[in-house]
Structure 1
Amino acid sequence: MKIEQVELRRLHVPLKAPFETSFGRFTFRDCILVGVSSEGETGYAESVAMPTPYYNEEMTDTVIYLLKHFLIPQLVGQHIDKPEQTAELFASVRRNYMAISALEGAVWDLLCKAQGISLSAALGGTRSEIDVGVSIGIESSVDHVLRNVTRFLEEGYKKIKVKIKPGFDIELIDAIRTRFGADVPLMADANSAYTLEHIPLLKQLDQYGLMMIEQPLAHDDIVDHATLQRELSTPICLDESIHSVEDARKAIELGSCRIINLKIGRVGGLTHTKNIHDLCARHGIPVWCGGMFEMGVGRAHNIAIASMPNFTIPGDTSTSKRHFEEDIVEPAVDFSKPGTLAVPTKPGIGYDLNRKAVEKYTVSKEIFKP
């Protein structure tokens, strides 16, 4: 297929409530929606970059710049028959994985629609439904978090992830275990808030039977995490440290983690996500799909990738209503049964655009042709 047009939209979508992590507080979703068109069909994806460069070096403005001045000019007019060709096309671009992922994901959706197959099937997905968990941000008090845990357990979520940071950690985890017991699937996400000096504190978490501690140390580290993992019985999960197959291979060989969180945007697209999934499967390292406040298009991509066989831990792809009053897809992403999302079987991502909502939240739009 010849890529005839690329459309970029920037959307500002308010969150139902502020969400805070150790690297920032967010009140709206700053989203880039990408549409890639050919022969009357359009594939969609979205960038997961944030408006600030605190999760990683990318942010919404830099993604737009890369797309406009480097990536889209390389893609428009090209004949693409396999989505993997897109990853090959951008192989010379250093990093900027969220920008690459947004464009590559739209090509995957486009080609799947043209071939009449679901994105899940194209990726090798084996599940008709996936279990999902929920991520709870840092709140003003432990009691506030406990109220959120109560609500999300009642809604049926299969895993509870709570954000922690020094001073908001042991007391929080202890309170959750005391209130809800040892059977609740519970994990802690540190977003790089700790150092090796915190080993005595982090070892205290071993007593709580956590599924994992996610990214406790520096965002670019795999060496110190290996030191920490040897001190802990709780599995370490790496997130921000893993950007490529090579990162994953080195982390596995060093013993830096026992679990890996895969985010499509962080590793440069669906092709690379699939390759890391396959590597981890060969080494017996389970993976799960993290969330980045995606709107419905991004959530649809997450659902498809999480249907692959080594995604054995519930991910963070919550329902649309978790963060938004209105989503940009229809139907909105919702449970097929408590804590479970159905994997679409329609061609491509399996959701239609809610065009009224897209127009409502669009703050800028550009169209690119050969």
Structure 2
Amino acid sequence: MRFSNLKCFTFTAPFKTPIRTVKADMTERKVLIISLEVDGETYYAESNAFETDWYHEETIESVHAAVKKIFAAIKDKEWTDYTTLGSILAYYRSTPHAIALFDYIGWQSLNDCKPVTVPLGYTLHPGQQLELQNRVKLKWHDDIVNEIKKIRLQYADIKIVVDANGSLSEDDVPTLEAMADDVDYFEELFSDIALYAKYSHLPLAIDESATNIEAIIRYYGVGVRIIVAKYARLGGGYPIKAIKEAIPDMRIIAGGMYEFGLSKYFTAQLAAEFGTIPDLTPRGTYFSEDYATYEEIIENGQLMMTYPVVDVTKLQEIINK
């Protein structure tokens, strides 16, 4: 099997509600999409990179440039399985968002891409009103303690996750300890690994800090046993599977990053394999538009989605750049 006929596109859609995080404010989402042929069949993949480097050093522009270079280097290389492809792509691991696109297209070509069903994990932003099931993720804010109390009163058995995006310090630890009994895990509390080591008695997870397997092993060494693994940031599905094989007791939460349906499908497939509640949102949570069509059914806290079919007429092809 070989890659051939690389094409690159972009797609842009407005957020239904502007997104505000501790790192960036956004009113629209632009993504890079590539297509490749494998043995005469065309497949697509979506990059989770952003236009600027607020989330990761790779941007849409840098991923586009890296994809062209990688394609030129590997288009004549033969691969017959996911492991062989992973070995070929590992050489370019300094550009994980770029190799993740080749990884996902390779995975599609090797699998039947059947419908996938996973438990739905909600993310509740301040001011939102949702009917919750399974798990809810809350973004850190000044009134987080009272919000947790309200949710626990309404949903006695729901799992609660608190995400701080690396914004907390040692001064916040007493508050964290006070709410720990109501929280499944705390996600990316600190920006300093020493604090993860010092407060490893808390149920700690990393997200932004899970940049590669070496970093994950360092955090594992100080007591972190949960990672939010975003396939784009780690170079695809194969490296995540390698992490699970190398560290069997690591709890892996599959997550996306304001992704459209095609990328969401791969996140869901990885979540199904790892048997955990992923960071997935129902269709229409962030966007009214998508460049791919698929069926989605939510029932009893489970999300089922079919393999998305790309409508290339909705994409803007990048020509001679």
- TM > 0.5 fold call: yes
5+ residue gaps, structure 1, are 121-127, 345-349
- Change in Cα spacing, 1:172 to 1:192, as seen in structure 2 (3 Å) is same
Instruction: In structure 2, give the amino acid aligned to 1:303.
Output: A
Distance in 2 (alpha carbons) for counterparts of 1:95 and 1:197: 35
Report 1:183-222 matches (<5 A): 183-207=157-181, 209-218=182-191, 221-222=192-193
Quote the Cα distance in structure 1 between the aligned partners of 2:245 and 2:84. 19
How far did residue 367 of structure 1 move? 8.2
Q: Are 1:341 and 2:308 an aligned pair?
A: no
Task: Supply the distance in 2 between the matched residues of 1:17 and 1:338 (Cα, whole angstroms).
Answer: 26
| 1:241 maps onto 2:209 in alignment | yes
The structure whose RCO (Cα within 8 Å, separation 6+) is larger is 1
- Which one-letter code corresponds to 2:293 in the other structure? E
- Structure 2 distance, partners of 1:318, 1:181, is 19
Q: Are residues 1:303 and 2:268 paired?
A: yes
Q: Which residue of 2 aligns with 1:91?
A: 90
**Shift in Å at residue 182 of structure 1?**
3.6
Cα distance in 2, alignment partners of residues 102 and 168 from structure 1: 39
Deviations 1:30-71 (A, max 9, x none): 111121103320122211112221222222222112222x22
Matches within 5 A, 1:121-200: 129-137=117-125, 139=126, 144-145=127-128, 148=129, 151-153=130-132, 157-165=133-141, 167-178=142-153, 180-200=154-174
Q: Distance in 2 between matches of 1:201 and 1:158?
A: 24
**Number of equivalences:** 321
- Residue 13 to residue 198, structure 1, CA distance change in 2 (3 Å): same
Percent identity of equivalent pairs:
24
Mapped partners of 2:155, 2:272: distance in 1 = 29
Distance 2:123 2:72 in 1: 37
Q: TM-score, normalised by structure 2?
A: 0.90
SS of the aligned residue for 1:160 comes to strand
Q: 1:303 to 1:366 in 2, by over 3 A?
A: farther
Distance in 2 (alpha carbons) for counterparts of 1:228 and 1:51: 35
Match of 1:351?
A: 308
For structure 2, which runs of at least 5 residues remain unmatched after alignment?
Answer: none
CA contact (8 A) 1:7 1:35 kept: yes
**SS at structure 2 position matched to 1:15:** strand
Aligned to 1:8: 8
| Superposition CA RMSD, Å | 2.5
Amino acid in the other structure paired with 1:341: L
Q: Partner of 2:198 in structure 1?
A: 227
Which structure carries more strand by proportion?
2
Q: For residues 229 and 103 of structure 1, do their structure 2 counterparts lie closer, same or farther at Cα, with a shift above 3 Å needed?
A: same
Question: Following TM superposition, by how much is the alpha carbon of 1:338 offset from its aligned partner in structure 2, in angstroms?
Answer: 3.8
How far is the alpha carbon of 1:90 from its aligned partner?
3.1
